[in-house]
Chain A
Amino acid sequence: MAPGYSAVLPFRYVTPAELDAFQRREPSAVRALYREYGRLVYAVAYRVLGRRDLAEDAVQETFVRAWQAADGFDVERDPAAWLATISKRAAIDIHRREARRPATGLIDLAADDPAVVTLPPDLGSVDAVWQVRRAIDQLQPDEATIIRMHHLDGMTHTQIADRLGVALGTVKSRSHRAHAKLASLLGHLTETVA
């Protein structure tokens, strides 16, 4: 892997036994759930809040709320959608709290501070973020890396080949495979978070 491009970590399914354990509020299950869904929860919170420190608060709040509601969790349901819903609500609560924060002069705040930007976030795109993040987490690391280099960094096949030090044809085939898998995983972005 080229310097500056850490691999996107591989996805790991939480087992049914771990979900049952979470429903029973066994502490060991929290770690398993966080390791699988923590990044997804963080992505949702970061999309709403736009600040890492506040997003981290929201992630903690999300898992606390999930833990407190664990015995009502349907183990047959996809935990990703459930956690994304909680994360979005926790982040919106924090956004509102920060928007109400008193006594700091507006002139002292950054332009993107939630106290200045009091408009609610685009919740439709928040739903899309968690679904896309979920799909990315299910790609192989090399596939996710190429998707990121194309779409986040705007790199061409040739630039990616140079950066990764692999043949252009290899990048093209990986890129095609990654995009096909992503399309298959996402289908269309219709499910919304309550």
Chain B
Amino acid sequence: MNERLTADERRALLAGDGADAPPSESAEDLDLLAAVLADPATWAEPRPDLEDAVLRAVADAAPAAATRRPATGGTRRAQHGRSRRVLAAAVGVAASVAIVVGALAVTSGGGSGADFQSELSATALAPRARARVDVTHNAAGFRVELAAHGLRRLRHGAYYQAWLKNAHGRLVAIGTFSSSDGSIVLWSGVDPDEYRGITVTIEPDDDDPGSSGRRVLGGTLRAT
């Protein structure tokens, strides 16, 4: 009972039981189809909780997408109502930003609003995580304020590390931290205009200075 169907037998099933050998062109298609059907990728099923991770990632990206294009056609009325709410919210956010900027100006002698921003999306390693990033340029470099939520506290011997990445995939570390649910200030010596990618990874406390590749958050900085 341990015998398996041979490739020829599987091709015969695909061609129709008892059918004559297919013409050469169809044989190529059958070979491809047989190979694809035997490929575990064809049958791979995502984990059930990936659906929620996808919805959160889209929700995180939604504000940026919504401001990129104007409303059209039948959606305009609904958009108008949303626009008023968004405008009211924006006024509130602007007021909050003004207060924060004012406070920063008092405490640090600088602060002119964020030069770059990003909403970071979670990966499957931390599906409940989210973060907002505001980058401001001053004489010392680029101040990266990371407001992260939903990152679990890591066990001893591991930490979170934030990175900027340029178009060639070059990574520059901008700081480490051990927990979220608060605002974290990191610093970058490279210009986010050239390093638009921003990620957060889980790193083991070892001698390896490179990225582990275990990404929990990721996004793209955009100039404001």
Contact = CB atoms under 8 A, between A and B. Distances in A.
Contacts of B55: 27, 30-31, 34
A104 B57 CA distance: 28
Given A59-B46, A102-B171, A46 B53 contact: no
A51 B67 CA distance: 34
A102 B38 contact: no
Interface in A11-48: 24-25, 27, 30-31, 34-35, 38-39, 42-43, 46-47
Given A59-B54, A104-B210, A129-B41, A42 B46 contact: yes
A63 B51 CA distance: 10
Contacts of B33: 128, 132, 186, 189
Contacts of B16: 176, 179-180, 183
Interface in A92-136: 96-98, 100-104, 125, 128-129, 132-133, 136
Chain A interface, DSSP helix/strand/loop, else mixed: helix
B32 A125 contact: yes
Interface stretch (B84-92, B96-104, B120-128, B140-148): B120-128
A77 interface: no
Given A34-B54, A64-B61, A125-B35, A103 B13 contact: no
A75 interface: no
A150 B3 contact: no
Contacts of A67: 58, 61-62, 65
Interface in A56-94: 56-57, 59-61, 63-64, 67-68, 70-71
Contacts, number: 170
Contacts of A189: 29, 32-33
Interface in B151-191: 168-169, 171
Contacts of B223: none
B13 to A, nearest CB: 6
Contacts of A42: 44-46, 50
A59 B51 CA distance: 9
B24 interface: no
A100 B167 CA distance: 11
B39 A47 contact: yes
A154 B123 CA distance: 35
A132 B62 CA distance: 31
B139 interface: no
A57 B32 contact: no
A152 interface: yes
Interface string A141-166: 00000011011111110010010000
Nearest to A47: B41
Interface in B1-33: 1, 3-5, 9-10, 13-14, 16-17, 26, 29, 32-33
A100 B169 contact: yes
B224 interface: no
A56 B123 contact: yes
A53 interface: yes
7 contacts: A60-B57, A102-B211, A104-B208, A132-B37, A136-B42, A152-B43, A154-B38
Given A63-B58, A96-B169, 15 more contacts: A47-B39, A50-B41, A56-B123, A56-B124, A60-B57, A61-B121, A67-B62, A103-B211, A104-B210, A125-B36, A128-B36, A132-B37, A151-B34, A154-B38, A175-B13
Interface of B: 1, 3-5, 9-10, 13-14, 16-17, 26, 29, 32-47, 50-51, 53-55, 57-59, 61-62, 64-66, 68-69, 72, 75, 121-125, 168-169, 171, 208-213, 215, 218
